[in-house]
Amino acid sequence: MKLLILGGTVFVGRHLVEVALERGHEVTLFNRGQHNSELFPAVEKLRGDRDGDLGALEGRHWDAVIDTCGYVPRVVRASTELLADEVEHYSFISTLSVFANFARPGADENTQVGTLEEEDSEDHRKYYGPLKALCEQAAEAAMPGRVLTIRPGLIVGPHDGSDRFTYWPSRIARGGDVLAPGRPQRPVQVIDVRDLAAWNIRMVEGARTGIYNATGPDYTLTMGAMLDACRTAAGSDARIVWIDERFLLDKGVTPWREIPVWLPEAGDTAGFSTVNCSKAIAAGLSFRPILDTARDTLAWETDRRRKAKAGGAELAFAAGLAPEREQELLAAWQASA
């Protein structure tokens, strides 16, 4: 099939392209050419800007579109309205952050989404979730009954520049005492980008539509089991030190940013890692072992840093505790005991 991918060179997009090509599809990319432009030299690349410069898409026909980079409803509306008569199927990559909160466990596709506090705001950093919800609605309004909306959770794996999962196997590989938040039995949900991409392409091939929560795995993964997988992947003898989350919050530690894959098990985030993905699983979403994800992510990260060092650069982690901050917290925890 002829497939147009909006984006296609950063993380989720590049994995979608790889899967699509492996499955024999004809792929066209539309983006500004600002990231990894050397990727996929044999693929057609159209240049433009979704915010006002869609001319390269005019008069073209594709069987399906996958939108990996829609953050503002006005921009998504422009893309879908332009393509509505030229494509049969539209995939929109949304997010579980659309939900108003996660106070209750088991959020499903019918759980209430968030709304904008500032009605006309397009600040997608401040209102990421509510704007994504409006983007979902804009796509469906332009192409009713022809939209597949995928709401991933934390997407992890090779080429994830956010370091939200990458921090853990990398940190554990350094060894020593590793600070871990809360309790080892706390559930976590992540999805390997390769599993997400492969399922998305299969859903497009089947012309599936509707809204699907998409995170994993299809069993209860705990923080302790995830870190054990990271330790095995790294071949590390690191010692995991579990610190009460109330202690961490009192010390001003920022969940998610300073300690990735952690949000407090109370209040509006109490059910964050219990999202119901049974609809997607019934539609064929499957998951590789977390050990494979940890091993492959660490291999990619190690190679990334080796290449950066060879070029005279040192990469800083985009997320995770700085070593001195971690040692400070470990010392304070030990003293409090």
Angle between helices 223-234 and 290-310 (to 10 degrees): 50
Q: What is the pLDDT confidence band of residue 94, given thresholds at 50, 70 and 90? A: very high
29 and 129 housed in the same domain: yes
For residue 90, being part of any structural domain is answered with yes
Task: Give tens-digit pLDDT for 244-294.
Answer: 999 999 999 999 999 999 999 999 999 999 999 999 999 999 999 999 999
CATH number at 72 reads 3.40.50.720
321 and 174 housed in the same domain: yes
Name the nearest CA neighbour of 142 among 87, 99, 200, 93: 87
Domain span at residue 136 reads: 2-152
For residue 174, being part of any structural domain is answered with yes
Name the nearest CA neighbour of 151 among 124, 166, 133, 164: 133
Task: Give tens-digit pLDDT for 171-227.
Answer: 999 999 999 999 999 999 999 999 999 999 999 999 999 999 999 999 999 999 999
Q: Which of the two residues, 314 and 16, has the higher pLDDT score?
A: 16
For residue 29, being part of any structural domain is answered with yes
In the chain, the N- to C-terminal Cα span, in Å, equals 62
- The pTM score is 0.96
103 and 148 housed in the same domain: yes
Tokens of 40: 């996929």
Q: Strand, coil or helix: what is 10?
A: coil
Q: What is the C-alpha separation between 89 and 97, in angstroms, rounded?
A: 24
For residue 313, being part of any structural domain is answered with yes
Phi/psi of residue 57, nearest 5 degrees: -90, -15
